[in-house]
């Protein structure tokens, strides 16, 4: 029986990263700060989101759905 495993790292990374890297958010930063600062902001956000995903994934490991643990074998 194969257990379904889900990576835990991407979930906490999407929470701060989703709004920060959305197109409307980047256009707002571009309009306020200029294109050089927007590119720097985008690079810093991608690096930080990647580090958060890696740290959460390595700390928590794989997530095993509890609904799959009690399922009888066939």
Q: What is the pTM of this model?
A: 0.68
Instruction: Express each pLDDT in 38-63 by its tens digit.
Output: 999 999 999 988 888 888 778 777 66
Task: For residue 48, tell me if it sits in a domain.
Answer: yes
The verdict on residue 27 lying in a domain is yes
Q: Any alpha helices (H) in 1-65, and if so which ranges? A: 10-20, 23-33, 35-60
Residue 24 domain boundaries: 5-69
- Identify whether the C-beta of residue 38 lies closer than 8 Å to the C-beta of residue 26: yes
In a domain, 24, yes or no: yes
- Proportion of the chain above pLDDT 70, given as a percent: 72
Q: Is residue 41 part of a domain?
A: yes
Asked, for residue 54, whether it belongs to a domain, the answer is: yes
User: What is the domain count for the chain?
Assistant: 1
What pLDDT is stored for residue 16 in this prediction? 76
Query: Is the separation of the CB atoms in 3 and 70 below 8 Å?
Result: no
């Amino acid at each position: 029986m194969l257990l379904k495993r889900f990576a835990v790292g991407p979930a906490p990374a999407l929470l701060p990263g989703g709004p920060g890297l959305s197109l409307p958010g980047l256009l707002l930063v571009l309009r306020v700060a200029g294109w050089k600062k927007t590119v720097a902001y985008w690079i810093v956000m991608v690096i930080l989101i990647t580090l958060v995903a890696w740290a959460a994934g390595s700390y928590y490991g794989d997530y095993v759905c509890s609904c799959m643990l009690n399922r009888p074998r066939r």
